[in-house]
Structure 1
Amino acid sequence: MAGDGGGGAQEVVIVGGGIAGLATAVALRRVGVARGVVVLERHPELRATGAALSVFPNGWFALRALGVDHKLASRYDTYDTYVVGVRAVDRKSLLEALAEELPPGTIRFSSKLVSIHTEAAAASTSSSQTTTVVLRLSDGSVIRTKVLIGCDGVHSVVARWLGLSEPASCGRSAVRGLSVYPTGHGLKAELRQFLSEGLRAGWMPVTRTLVYWFLANNTVPAEAEAAGDPAKTLREVTENLARHMPSEYLDVVRHADLGNLSWSPLLYRNPLDVLTGNAAWGSVTVAGDAYHPMTPDMGQGGCTALEDAVVLARALSTAATPAEGVAAYVAERRRRAAWIVAGAYLSGWVQQGGTNVHGVRGYMVKLLRDRVFYRFVYPRLADTMWYNCGDLKVQRKKEAQNRNVMYGEPTKKLDCSTFHRSSL
């Protein structure tokens, strides 16, 4: 791809090779939306770093629609929280499971998007439906595409181009890590959580030898120096932030793999902007964290990204034009995404006793948390975790024939109708 204009033309370009990007590529191929789907990943290889993620039932419904659930279900046990079943999944394993479904060359590594502009398609009007999107990469190459999907994370270039608001800090940060026990950890398959003033911590076994743990804290000055240094981060957690935590929690933390340890601010997009913001322009849109970045307090970041992939692919496969498909996708996702972003923010703020809230106000927040939130509000939020985004239906034969020039060949139908709660 070196050289000016060396990228050529593509049917669909997805920016970002994380969960949202790879899932969207898999979904598009399964419904036959495009003969050529390209994923641009700025890193030189599939991102292997990162801790685990919680996959709730809504995530498994989406994974089933994508046809990859069987690769993961047998490797990770299900265990129940007090409201819903969940599996902790190694992020790397999920990315690999998705990448295996894509033909060689689909993911173009070391491909960093730097700018976007548009040009009118030949012999067409200036309508957004007949506009070509032109992408320039950091190596100088140029790619022209009919459909652009930004899955490039919280600081998305595509979201910024669309005019979505910049993600804001919620005043909290999170340390996340994977702890390794070569001979087995012996912990129960359950989510353990510890609450303190301005701090929430916990762990979740992933496999017999891996434990995912987290610590969410009110942002402190020490983060600026320690965040980029795993050793300093671990020392700050054990000697300062979590020093008063139970010894069993500290033991898990001390087994951390430094290569999978991170400390970063928790960002989110204003739910109102998710609901009303410009998440689509013609055949350009965003998915996952690029669309609805949220705090991790409901464990829904990865799950909603998987939902986006299924809904977007289905919308594009049934629409007359890519622009109509993108518009249908955004219309379907707006309300749910905004509600989950708001719910996650509220969940984190209340459970940590309120960010930087002290005295009588702090006491009232704790009272709200223990007497109201856990008993009445959180169960309602947990209902969203049973959401089924549906399957990837194949276009009818006549429709497919009419769209083959733009989209490509359909694939067989997947049915999630038997994927009930008891099977999770």
Structure 2
Amino acid sequence: MSFQGEITHLSQKGLGVVQHPENGLSYFVAGTWPGDRGEFEITDRALNNRKYGYARLIRLIQSSRHRKTPECRFLGFSSNDCSGCPWMIADYDSQLEQKKNQFLYAMHRAGFDPADLNIGAMQPSPDLFGYRNRFQVKTDGEKLGFVAEGSHHIVPIEDCLILNPACRQHLQTLRKHLPSREWSPAPGDDWNFIDLDDQSPAEPVLLNRKQPFRQGNDAQNQWMRSWLKHALEQHGHSHKIVELFCGSGNFTEVIAQTGCPEILAYEADPQAITVLQQKNLPGVDARTADLYHPFIWKILKKNVQDAGILVLDPPRSGLKTLRGFFETFTSLETICYISCDPVTFARDAWTFCKNGWSFSDIQLVDLFPHTPHIEIMATFHKHQEHTAKESKR
């Protein structure tokens, strides 16, 4: 049974939210934007005590004033469409506004008062298309493309507008191999994946081999590196800086420019650490460590307890646990936290603030236009009164 309603806001995952006029339940709808009025069909009803479900847009009655026609002909919201850039349906200024709203909502849910947060304008991407320097496609030997949201269906892609020129050319090179028996998945698998970036050749094609992590937008990554450089210059030098989740050294290169004599960089991926070690950055000691080990803070304590500055750029799951963190980093004065997830950042930030820390700077960065993703950069400082209490112990 269908119903009519208006999209009032976006969910934390970037889906439109509409309230059913009769039962009062909220439904999440892909491919919609605040201000859209339409007819919707329920696809997943609310169960048990849930107060929400899922629906799909059947008919758009009145468009949001921010809605626009997507440039990509492959964009859609069915199992036969690519939905990798779901926000391409809206103008860019509105996208930036919604990303900031998502961050503020996550901070509010964690316990912060959004009115107390001093957040400047989001750093927009200079390029809305042709910005992506890496990509991953799936193939079964017959088709090559991206997997439709919530399915195991490969959507064949002939082109991708967000890829930069080198990556777009890689995509065309891969398509020339089809059909390919060598690309057929093993029994029980749905596909193979191919991971490429603009710094590696498309051939020979290497199946199921991941490239080392790299920020996907070069221009925005350079801006983030500049932000970190400025933050480290502003907040003094330390005889020891620790970096967690260093990858292959994207931000380690910036830290090394400070002239700090002792820099410890930790990462779980041995391949990334090998790449970092080969850079021979001055003062950098790069080490492999499972940073999600349940006793990681005890393991690291001997080496990091005298560090004055911490730089971290964790995956979407954030730090996961901060139990023992503050007893390990006993000399910290500054934390530079780079995050790709508002929810886990807000969770960790709340824990920091409850343990004698406050943030002096929060900067939002749009790394991936047309998607709900957002990058957060923040500087935390230990309260002076908290430092004084510790010195008396």
Pair in the same fold by TM > 0.5: no
Q: Normalized against structure 1, the TM-score is what?
A: 0.24
Higher helix share: 1
Q: Normalized against structure 2, the TM-score is what?
A: 0.26
